[in-house]
Amino acid sequence: MDDAFTSDTHQDIGRVLVSSTAIARRVVELAQQVGDDYAHADGRLTVVPVMTGSLLFAADFVRALPQRRLRIQLTTVSSYGGKNTASRGSTLAGALPKHLEGHHVLILDDILDSGGTLRLLRSEFESRGAASVRACVLLRKKIPSAMSTPCEYCGFDIDDEFVVGYGLDYDDLYRNLPFVGTLKPEARA
């Protein structure tokens, strides 16, 4: 039984949108595709996970990359916070990676919806002299703002619903779920 999902173990979850099995398979596929695209970047690939939402995705992704000589530098961008289920706009909430000049930068993020995070980071990294800047997201909402934001690698396109699990949270809860799912309305009360 995939994800051992029952109403008893995850009483707040309305339904599973992406199973842990599907996530694991897709993360490996994305890592292979990125690895092929950056085969020439020996030691000049910098992966930048956007914390905290991409934590689980980033951990699995970088371990699946064929490159062994790469840098990982974290950054934090605030878009939601607490019990907000709609983006409030993206602002830097932590330090930006250093020494990006001449490096190929891959932004890793959990979800693409408003596009603000990717636009902000892409602009910052390009202005710091990155050789290239690409983005990889686990989830992309099928809404105009997300679909029109440049994103070179995407795990899954999903409907415009608020989701949790596999790093995504509601009020800092549910990040540890192995799947991506929706919350029951009463769980957001």
Active site residues: 113
Structure tokens at 62: 């970088």
**Pairing label, strands 180-183, 13-18:** antiparallel
Nearest Cα to 54, choosing from 23, 83, 33? 23
Separation CA 32–CA 35 (nearest Å): 5
Beta-bridge partner residues of 109: 137
